[in-house]
Structure 1
Amino acid sequence: MLWIIAAAVFAWLAFREVRAARVPRRGYAQPRPVFKPYLIACMALSAGFAWQPLKYWRFERLLSAKATQLADGRPARVHCNSVADTLFDSEQFAAGHANIETGQIVFQHGWCATLMDYVNKPASASPEDFFALHMFTHESMHVRGETNEARTECQAIQRDTRAAMLLGVPEALARKQALDFYFNSYMGRSGDGWMSAQYFSDQCAPGKAMDEQLSDSTWLPLYSAADEQF
């Protein structure tokens, strides 16, 4: 919001400068000429401040479209919280959350920037960057209609490769990163506390109860490896 207000203020100053060159000020017979350096500075500052919210607005639209695809066509709408939004969010301590009824997915302040970093530079992504991608997939599964966190998480695990590819990540890299997340992050939760246990199931594995046998599953290389053992 502050970015938009600042952009509007400088746009108004630029407009006032142009108007002053056309309409004489009160008490003057002639308008004064435009002071070009001032006008250019105001226009540049207005555009600069407007770029930040515009960039996030475009990213929200991209994420909304891809989340809808991940949710099997159920309409999704992604919103990136500002600092103020996060402060007044009833679920401010959750990095992200989704409303199954409305299809709205919310990322708390900072997480959209992290996901944007991942999309822009996936080859140099940190574990936190990929977690932002996984959170996007997870919340899309809630929009799809799943309420149980363990099942939601497993559905997301199997679709992380798909989600990354929808956002422009090459398949080989997307699959490697998704498998790394599955082995290093997800499987490591089995011995964690109660909170992590809500999101973990030992049935979330190739050939087990939660395996959906997706044609583009993150686990495809694991099926191949299992076949080679027999």
Structure 2
Amino acid sequence: MLLTLTLIGFLTLAAVVSIRWVLRRVDALGRVRAFPKIRVGLCLALALSCAVPLWTQARLEGRLERAASAMVGAQVQVHCQTFGEAFVDLGQELGYVAWGPGGVPERATVIKRGPCADLRSWLASSKDAPSRDQVVAVHVLTHEAMHMAGLMVEAEAECAAVQRDAAMAVALGASAAQGRALAQEYWSTVYPAMPADYRGGCGPGGTYDERLATAPWQTGS
């Protein structure tokens, strides 16, 4: 928001300076004043410096939204936390979905600044050897997508996400083999260390086993 307001401010200032020149371009002696190109150019350059990161973030969010919407089966919104938002954020969670009226999860999520940066770096990589943070970042998006789909119990949402991490990775541009490898990495190294309220009922024949072909415990997955 701050970056957007700054962008608007510099564009407005450039417009004001230009309009003021138009209204006063001829002085009292009839001489034409030079266009204030340095001041206008500086304002436009500063506006551009704000526009580039805004465009980059919007492009990333659009890509994440398309993948998450495919998992949910409906249009959802994904917002990557900005620097200003992160500065005042004291929460420890990596992402969250707000609960609307009646306790129903909204179809919008905020992914924290760190995981969004990891998602960006993973998307730009070959996706062959993701770091642990990148694996977790992809899973965070899947987990929040499960909340947006209506799952409110953390253990259920976590298990549903575990079974869809491979599909999420593919929706984001990974190959099927890369998606399976990422899902198995999360299942074998990250999931066992999750807090107790995120675990339970997940695994072959478990309460939340949906018997999906993309589940990391399926033979040949």
TM more than 0.5: yes
In the alignment, structure 1 residue 81 sits paired with structure 2 residue 81: yes
Q: Deviation per CA, 1:57-97, whole angstroms, max 9, x where unpaired?
A: 23223322322221132x422222334445666x8332211
SS at match of 1:175: helix
Q: Cα deviation per residue 1:139-195 (whole Å; 9 max; x = unaligned)? A: 111111111111111110110011111111222222112111111111344xxxxxx
Separation in structure 1 between the aligned mates of residue 41 and residue 128 of structure 2, nearest angstrom: 38
Aligned to 2:62: 61
1:33 alignment counterpart: 34
Secondary structure (helix, strand or coil) at the match of 1:97 reads: strand
* 2:5 alignment counterpart: 5
Unaligned 5+ residue runs, structure 1? 190-195, 226-230
Is the CA contact 1:141–1:156 (under 8 Å) kept in the aligned structure 2? Answer: yes
How do 1:99-114 residues align onto structure 2 when only pairs under 5 Å count? 99=98, 100-114=104-118
Partner SS state of residue 18, structure 1: helix
> Residues 119-198 of structure 1: matches in 2 within 5 Å?
119-121=123-125, 122-123=127-128, 125-189=130-194, 196-198=195-197
Structure 1 length as normaliser, TM-score? 0.78
What are the superposed Cα offsets for residues 27-82 of structure 1, whole Å, 9 maximum, x if unpaired? 54444223545544432221121121232223223322322221132x42222233
Partner letter of residue 212 of structure 2?
L
1:17, 1:34 within 8 Å by CA — same for their partners in 2? no
Does the Cα contact within 8 Å between 1:81 and 1:108 map onto a contact in 2? yes
Q: Equivalences for 1:211-222 in 2 at 5 Å?
A: 211-215=209-213, 217-219=214-216, 222=218
Aligned residues: 214
- Cα–Cα, structure 1 residues 123 and 26, in superposed 2: closer, same or farther, change >3 Å? farther
Counterpart in 2 of 1:193?
Answer: none
Answer yes or no: is the 8 Å Cα contact 2:2–2:84 preserved in 1. no
Partner of 2:94: 95
Aligned to 2:219, what secondary structure does the other structure show?
helix
Match in the other structure for 1:205? 203
Residues of 2 paired with 1:197 and 1:41: CA distance? 55
2:115–2:133 CA contact under 8 A, matched in 1: no
Helix, strand or coil: the match of 1:168? coil
Partner of 1:223: 219
SS in 2 for 1:19: helix
8 Å CA contact retained: 1:81, 1:109: yes
CA offset at residue 207 of structure 1?
4.3
Q: CA 1:8/1:31 → structure 2, altered by over 3 Å: closer, same or farther?
A: farther
* TM-score (norm: length of structure 2): 0.81
